[in-house]
Each structure stands twice: as C-alpha cells, then as structure tokens.
Chains A and B, each alone.
Chain A
Amino acid sequence: QSALTQPASVSGSPGQSITISCTGTSSDVGGYDYVHWYQQHPGKAPKLIIYDVRHRPSGVSNRFSGSKSGNTASLTISGLQAEDEADYYCSSYTRSSTWVFGGGTKLTV
C-alpha cells in the first residue's frame, strides 16, 4: 500500500492554469477508473472535487478537470483564483479492494 506520488508543491498566478499529477501503478491508478481528487483548506475537512477520474460533483466549479493516462492521473485547475490555494490529494481504489491516497500537493496562488 505505497502512497501515490504527487508533486509536493505547485504554484501559479491568478488566471493561469496548473496541473497536478498523481502516479501509481497498474494495481491502482492504472487498473481502475476510480481515481478521486480532494481539496483541503487549512484546518478544514477534505472536499471531493473530482470523482471517477473526470467527473465533477454538483456545485464544483468547471475550472476543475481530471484525466488519466496509463498509471498517471492528473488534476487541472484553469483560471486560477486565490481561493484555489489549498492542498490537493488524489486517491485510487486498489486491486486489494482498499484505498490509497497520494502524498498531497500544496498549491500556491
């Protein structure tokens, strides 16, 4: 159950786009389209922003999008806003019927 690999930090200016990668193996990210992304602001509980690789829950801005290629999933945030500054975590279902999270990425706007 090794954690998925995410960059520790990314940054961007308001209005720009950024992409956060999430790399796993064929036993998790590469094997299933059950990759989800969570946003966490300091001191708050995580919030689901992308599920099943590319789908947005109701109420989540369409500036958030997800994709996957092979063993790597990606979260793209377009039109960066100050409120997007947060930690972002990917998670994937695994062959063992368990879950694994990425190490998290701190986004600075």
Chain B
Amino acid sequence: QVQLVESGGGLVKPGRSLRLSCAASGFTFSDYYMSWIRQAPGKGLEWVSYITSSGSTMYYADSVKGRFTISRDNAKNSLYLQMNSLRAEDTAVYYCARGRGYSYGPLGYWGQGTLVTVSS
C-alpha cells in the first residue's frame, strides 16, 4: 500500500535552516508529482510547493518562494524540502502528499506530517 513518511521536523531558531524528508513506498515514485502542504497550529491547510515527476520543474507559494527548495531523488524514492531563513510564521505541521502524473491532479495520499517549530 502507498506509504508516505515525513521526517526532519523539530525546533529551530528564526533565521536558521531545516531539511524535511519524505520516504515513499508502495508505488512507482518516479511516476508521480509530489507536493508539500503545511498547517499552522489551529489553522487551515496551505499549499507550499510541488515538483514534477522527473524533478525538472518546481512551483512555490509566494510565502516561501526564494527561501524553500523542493527536490526529489527518484532512485531513493524520497522527497525533500530545504527550508532556509525560517520565520516564526513557518511554524506548522508539514505534510508530503502524492499527486498524479500531471500538475492539476488531486492529492490522493498524504503522510502523517512532521512538526516544525520556529522559535528562539
């Protein structure tokens, strides 16, 4: 069955960096677009970024553009989110999710999330 397991979250000071990982299994990882979505405590979902199946193209929300970088390693069935210049407002649970083989496909599978807390 499809499994997505995020890791790498934790407590980090403002201005520092953190790298999240998402280990995928149960499907052909290289066939699917992958996304990161976050949810601040007590708030709604916010789309963060997605990457094409080949890893050649990435899109970002304005709120993270220039600070976050999404990437993937299809040989390792893994998705990453490099987060630099972190701010308090980046505090959230970060979910990785599987799309389809095209950009407008729905997010049919989600991981359980990893909590990132940005605080001094």
A residues apposed to B, CB below 8 Å: 1, 3, 32, 34, 36, 38, 40, 45-48, 51-52, 57, 87, 89, 91, 93, 96-104
Report the separation of the CA atoms of residues A21 and B40 in the bound assembly, to the nearest whole angstrom: 23
Shortest Cβ distance from B47 into chain A, in angstroms?
A: 4
A48 contacts which chain B residues (CB < 8 A)? 106-108
Main secondary structure, interface of B, reads loop
Is A45 in contact with B104, judged by CB distance below 8 angstroms?
A: no
Known contacts A45-B95, A46-B95, A97-B59; A104/B45 CB under 8 A: yes
B108 contacts which chain A residues (CB < 8 A)? 48, 51, 57
Interface string of B100-113 (1 = CB under 8 A from A): 00011111101111
Answer whether residue B46 sits at the interface, using C-beta atoms and an 8 A cutoff: yes
Answer whether residue B35 sits at the interface, using C-beta atoms and an 8 A cutoff: yes
Is B95 in contact with A103, judged by CB distance below 8 angstroms?
A: no
Answer whether residue B50 sits at the interface, using C-beta atoms and an 8 A cutoff: yes
Report the separation of the CA atoms of residues A20 and B43 in the bound assembly, to the nearest whole angstrom: 18
B residues apposed to A, CB below 8 Å: 35, 37, 44-47, 50, 59-63, 95, 103-108, 110-113
Shortest Cβ distance from A21 into chain B, in angstroms?
A: 15
Select from chain A the residue with minimum beta-carbon distance to B107. A48
Q: What are 18 A-B residue pairs whose CB atoms fall within 8 Å in the complex?
A: A1-B61, A32-B104, A36-B106, A38-B45, A38-B107, A45-B112, A46-B37, A46-B95, A46-B107, A52-B106, A87-B44, A91-B107, A93-B103, A99-B50, A100-B47, A101-B45, A102-B44, A104-B45
Known contacts A99-B35, A99-B47, A100-B47; A46/B103 CB under 8 A: no
Select from chain A the residue with minimum beta-carbon distance to B47. A99
A99 contacts which chain B residues (CB < 8 A)? 35, 47, 50
Known contacts A45-B95, A45-B113, A98-B61; A34/B104 CB under 8 A: yes
